[in-house]
Structures are given as C-alpha cells and as structure tokens.
C-alpha cells in the first residue's frame, strides 16, 4: 500500500471517529474543561506511560492544576471525566446502578470476562454478590484463621528450605493464590494450583499491557491464558455440579458450588460462563491485591526500623500470651483482633500507595456534577490519591503515620479513604485481606529475621505497585529467647 493511500485511510478513519465523537457530546453545552487528545487514542498513551512510571498521580495533578478537580480527557478509546475529591468520590461511588455502571475498558473485560461481578448491575449483581458474601462474612472468616495460619507456616518453611534468599513479591503472589484456591474454592491439589497460578500471572500482566492482538504480544498471551483457565476449570465445575445434584456436595462447600446452586429471578440457573468469569475475577481480587499489600508492608518494615520494632513488639506480645496460656499453636480470631498497630501500618501503606489507582464507571444517563454535564455513555474515573494525599483530610500527607487510623485520632470522612472502594461496589473481600495480611506478617516477624538485598529498592507500578526488584530478602529462622 502506498504512503498516500495509507494516509488517506488514516484521515478517513480519523474523520469518522471525530464525527462519532462529536455526535457523542452533542447536546452537552457545559462539558468540563480539558483535552480529548488525539483522534482514536486520546490521551491513552501518556496516561499509561505515566501509570507505569508510578507518575499517575502527577499526570492527574497536572490536569487538576490546569483545569480544576473535574476535567475531561479520553482514555482507552472513550471520552472520560476525571473527578478528584471527597464529593466526587461520593457522587460516583455512592450513586445507584441507575446512574452509573461499572465500566472497565473492553480490553480488560475481554481478559476478565463480561459476566464477572464488576460488570454486573441490578438484580444479577446482587445475586452474585450475596453468594460471594456468604463466604466472606465474619462467622465464615473466623473459621478461616486456623487454615490460613497452617498454609502460611507451611509455605514459609517450604520457601526457605535449602536457601537463604527469597523474593517476597513472588512468594506473596504464590501464597495468597494458594490460600484463595484452598479456602474459597476448595482446590487443594498442588499441581492444579500451580497450573492455574502460571496462567493467572500471564493474565495479570496482560491487564497492564497495550491491547494489541498479534502473536506473542502480552495482550494476546493473556487472552490465551484466559482460555486455558476456562478449559481447566470446566471439568472441575461439571464434577461439582454432578456432586451437588446427587447430594454428595453442599452449596456451602465453596464459592464455585455456591454459584452453581444459584437461581435467578425466573428460577434459571447461572450459566457456566458466569461461574468461570466470577471464579476468575474473585481469584484475581482475592490474591493479587493482598499480595501487593503484603509486599508493600514487608518493603516498609525492611526500610523503617522504628515501624518494624513496634510491629515486632505487638506480634511478640501476642505470641508470648499464647505460649503463657498454653493454648493451641495456631492463631485465633481473638489474636487477629489484637493486631491493631500492624493493621494501622497496612492501612497507612494503602493510603500512600493504593493497590488500585482508580475506578472507572459508565454514565447510563445524562447527569451533571459540580456544574458540568456528563453525557450518557461517557465514563467517569475517580482516583484514590486525590483524597488520600489531601492535607485537609490527612495532615502532613507525605509522612508515614499509622496513628492516623487509631480510633482516638481525627475521624476520616466517608469516601475520603478508598483503598477498597466505597459505596455499592466496595470490595467485599476487605476483611479476608485483613486476616490474611495479619496472619502472614505475624508468622514472618515472630518466626524469622530478614534483611533486604537492595535497601534502596523503589516502588514501580506496572498495572499495580510493586517493589521494582521483586524485594529479595535474606531470611533465616528467628532464634527464640
């Protein structure tokens, strides 16, 4: 094809896109200030580049300084309004499904499945959410502590066997994946877990890649991994469906069995595709964000002796109390509730470095906020750092101060601290993550000593924030005195 012909095609495509784009905003007379960027790609490239360099906050702040806390842009091929601030968080995250629907970019939906809970709304969303919540309620969580303790202990001992250096990021990813498979999905076979884990890591890398389909691209590999996950899960799913029908298995056994037993408004069963999609999204949500948090906490403890000493003291006090009482070796729900300072450290890490940068929602009808119109079909995006680093909410926001989350401290306004989201679509697994985080940190600090291989290791964000070198540490059993 000649350069002239190619240029003509590009010009035609750009013209058609712009025509559609302008039609999309027709009738909106007071759009927020901002730039829609280039035809087709908008500001997607600069948005993703900043995100990967851990400069997403700077990208947002530059535009807030120029246009204000409500501005328009175009990312992932869709016109977007970005809203920063508590009022904006409440407007977007607290609105009903009639106004906004969860709107993950199509490239992400293709990887995670169009029927996953984050894509659902209305009665279907409530149906699936109730099923998942039945495994994440306090009475269920209390029963998970002992098994989590066993899995963490076994995994740590296995990891350090015959070696004195481990990469914390990789270890935490494997650990949290194993815990989710075992406790939530009753998948205990190590070979099966390993196979799933490998494909989920490929899938997760694809989430932060540019959505170009060609052989060998990260995105294409992610789609292939997604297909393998589905093919591997279907035999498990069908076996459990048969066991449910014969009474061998109860719907309370695991999340997959519970989803298979669901009935919709017309008594129709949930489809296999819906089960596969929600298996995938729950496994991603229940292991990767917790692995991020654990890696960041260990990174902080490795760099800050004062914080480490306080966490160690709290955890050793709990251990000594258990030993003095001569009670069972495994942690209990009561022990978890005593780990107040350790969880405050985790909360402060999530304030300064949120595991999830922001949330996309789609406007289902014309609406307005802050005096500006938001047209139907546009997406809106809220960012956690916009309020997490607001000095009027968190004094000296650049300082690491876990005491902000002490109950005696100044109350944090609703919708100001949103590492787990907020409103109707807040994360349903936040308590599961808390228990797993505290159990793991308890075992790590009370049973082992470690030092970072790279004391000056920084945090990088490739879809999500992680220590840039994988956080290798030299580790050895703690000598008990």
Which positions make up the binding site?
427
Cα–Cα distance for residue pair 75/381, rounded to 1 Å: 10
Pairing of strands 372-374, 367-369: antiparallel
Q: Do the beta carbons of residue 299 and residue 471 sit within 8 Å?
A: yes
375 in helix, strand or coil? coil
Cα–Cα distance for residue pair 302/57, rounded to 1 Å: 25
Query: How many residues are there in the chain?
Result: 481
| 53-58: long-range pairs with CB below 8 Å, 24+ | 53/460, 53/461, 54/459, 54/460, 54/461, 54/465, 56/357, 56/383, 56/385, 56/461, 57/383, 57/385, 57/389
Provide DSSP, 66-116.
HH-SEEEEEETTEEEEEE-SHHHHHHHHSS-TTTEEE---HHHHHHH-TTS
Provide DSSP, 119-137.
G--HHHHHHHHHHHHTTTS
54 in helix, strand or coil? coil
Q: Residue 276: how many CB atoms within 10 A of its CB?
A: 22
Dihedral angle of Cα 126, 199, 243, 264, to the nearest 10 degrees? 20
Provide DSSP, 450-465.
EEESSTT--EEEESEE
Query: What is the residue whose two structure tokens read 């005491």?
Result: 403
Instruction: For residue 157, give every residue at least 6 positions away whose Cβ sits within 8 Å of its Cβ, in sequence order, or none.
Output: none
Query: What is the residue whose two structure tokens read 């004062």?
Result: 306
At how many degrees (to 10) do helices 272-303 and 190-207 cross? 80
Provide the CB-side half-sphere exposure for 249 (13 A, CA). 22
Cα–Cα distance for residue pair 171/454, rounded to 1 Å: 17
For the chain, helix, strand, coil in percent to 5 are 55, 10, 30
Binding-site residues for heme sit at 427
């Amino acid at each position: 094809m000649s350069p002239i012909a190619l240029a003509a095609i590009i010009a035609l495509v750009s013209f058609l896109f712009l025509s559609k784009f302008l039609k999309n905003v027709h009738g909106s007379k007071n759009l927020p200030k901002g730039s829609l960027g280039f035809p087709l790609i908008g500001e997607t490239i600069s948005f993703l580049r900043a995100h990967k360099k851990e400069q997403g906050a700077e990208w947002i702040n530059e535009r807030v300084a120029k246009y204000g806390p409500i501005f328009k842009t175009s990312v992932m091929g869709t016109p977007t309004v970005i809203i920063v601030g508590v009022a904006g968080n409440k407007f977007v995250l607290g609105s009903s499904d009639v106004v906004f629907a969860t709107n993950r970019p199509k490239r992400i939906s293709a990887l995670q499945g169009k029927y996953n809970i984050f894509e659902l709304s209305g009665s279907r969303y409530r149906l699936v959410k109730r099923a998942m919540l039945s495994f994440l309620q306090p009475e269920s969580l209390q029963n998970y502590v002992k098994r989590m303790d066993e899995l963490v202990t076994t995994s740590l001992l296995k990891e350090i066997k015959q070696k004195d250096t481990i990469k914390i990021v990789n270890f935490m990813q494997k650990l949290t994946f194993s815990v989710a498979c075992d406790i939530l999905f009753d998948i205990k076979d190590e070979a099966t877990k390993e196979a799933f884990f490998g494909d989920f890591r490929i899938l997760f890398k694809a989430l932060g890649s540019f959505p170009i389909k060609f052989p060998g691209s990260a995105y294409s590999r992610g789609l292939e991994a997604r297909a393998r996950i589905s093919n591997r899960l279907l035999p498990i799913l069908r076996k459990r469906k048969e066991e449910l029908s014969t009474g061998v298995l109860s719907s309370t056994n695991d999340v997959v069995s519970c989803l298979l037993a669901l009935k919709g408004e017309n008594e129709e069963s949930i489809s296999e595709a819906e089960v596969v999609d929600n298996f995938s999204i729950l496994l991603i949500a229940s292991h990767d964000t917790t692995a991020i948090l654990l890696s960041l906490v260990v990174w902080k403890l490795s760099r800050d002796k004062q914080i480490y000493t306080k966490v160690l003291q709290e955890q050793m006090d709990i251990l000594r109390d258990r030993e003095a009482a001569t009670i069972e070796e495994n942690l209990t729900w009561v022990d978890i509730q005593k780990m107040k300072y350790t969880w405050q450290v985790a909360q402060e890490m999530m304030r300064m470095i949120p595991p999830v940068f922001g949330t996309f929602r789609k406007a289902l009808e014309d609406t307005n906020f802050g005096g500006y119109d938001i047209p139907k079909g546009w997406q809106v995006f809220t960012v956690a750092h916009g309020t997490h680093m607001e000095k009027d909410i968190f004094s000296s926001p650049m300082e690491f101060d876990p005491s902000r989350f002490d109950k005696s401290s100044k109350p944090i306004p609703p919708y100001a601290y949103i590492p787990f989201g907020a409103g109707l679509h807040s994360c349903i697994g936040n308590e599961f993550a808390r228990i797993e985080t505290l159990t793991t940190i308890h075992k790590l600090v009370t049973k082992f000593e470690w030092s970072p291989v790279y004391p000056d290791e920084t945090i990088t964000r490739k879809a999500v924030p992680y220590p840039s070198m994988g956080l290798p540490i030299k580790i050895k059993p703690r000598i008990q005195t």
